[in-house]
Amino acid sequence: MTMQHDHAPVDGARREFPGASAADDALLRHIMTTGGLWSSAAAVSATIGLTGLLVSGWRPRQLDGVAGPAWWAGAVLVLAGALALAWAGCPVVTDEPSRAAQRKSLSVRAGLVVFVAGMAIAALAVLLG
């Protein structure tokens, strides 16, 4: 007994990014999915952390000395990292698909590093300030 397959082969499948090879198309879809998920996670974690501080009555102007500028520097890094993650999750590709995949992949990695570094700097400024 033989089984018939009703689906088209992978090479003939519809691609989300015209002109992309099957591998680049799959990579771009993967990067954009994970970029969107990381972007959402970054937004939620930053919002929860900042909301907790603000509800408790804390304000950035209460930080003395180096802690104030350090907190603001951390906040800027958090924003930059979150924007890099959001760009990686954006479904717009304005470059050759293989090059776009490389850039978006780098954006996810750099965005995560910058976001986490910013959160650490801001948290240390609050804790030590």
Number of domains in the chain: 1
Whether residue 4 is contained in a domain is answered as no
Q: What's the whole-number mean pLDDT along residues 81-93?
A: 88
Whether residue 13 is contained in a domain is answered as no
Q: Rounded distance, CA 72 to CA 11, Å?
A: 50
Position 57, amino acid: G
The pLDDT assigned to 92 comes to: 78
Whether residue 10 is contained in a domain is answered as no
Whether residue 14 is contained in a domain is answered as no
Whether residue 61 is contained in a domain is answered as yes
| Cα dihedral 37, 79, 125, 57 in deg (nearest 10) | -90
Residues of the chain above pLDDT 70, percent:
88
Predicted confidence (pLDDT) at residue 24 exceeds the cutoff of 70 = yes
User: Residue 82 in contact with residue 118, Cβ under 8 Å?
Assistant: no
Predicted confidence (pLDDT) at residue 71 exceeds the cutoff of 80 = yes
Q: How confident is the model at residue 77 (pLDDT cuts 50, 70, 90)?
A: very high
Whether residue 43 is contained in a domain is answered as yes
- If you average pLDDT over each of 21-25, 74-78, 98-102, 123-127, which comes out highest? 74-78
Whether residue 41 is contained in a domain is answered as yes
User: Residue 88 in contact with residue 31, Cβ under 8 Å?
Assistant: yes
Whether residue 56 is contained in a domain is answered as yes
Q: Rounded distance, CA 11 to CA 37, Å?
A: 27
Q: Domain range for residue 42?
A: 21-128
